[in-house]
Amino acid sequence: MEVYPNPNNGEFVITTSNEVMNVTITDVRGKVVYTNNTVNNNTINVNLSDLEKGMYMINVETANGTMTENVIVQ
């Protein structure tokens, strides 16, 4: 899984080698700030520009398992 650009201004792209089924992004306290259950694609464009600056955890679920990556919004 690749997240770019990172750090960013709240707009970023997630790419994977496998088709993504579900994306969940949480803040450092574990609160879900973004979810998408109807991706069915290898590339996801995310816009979190309305959120506070800080670090967020991206959880991506594919047919081959779940991947986690950090992203920094500044």
The total number of residues shown for the chain amounts to: 74
The Cα–Cα gap between 53 and 60 comes to 21
CATH class in words for 2-73: mainly beta
Amino acid at 39: V
What's the pLDDT tens digit per position in 37-51? 988 889 999 999 999
pLDDT digits (tens, 9 = 90+) for 5-63: 999 999 999 999 999 999 999 999 999 999 999 888 899 999 999 999 999 999 999 98
pLDDT at 54: 96
Closest by Cα among 14, 3, 19, 13 to 64: 19
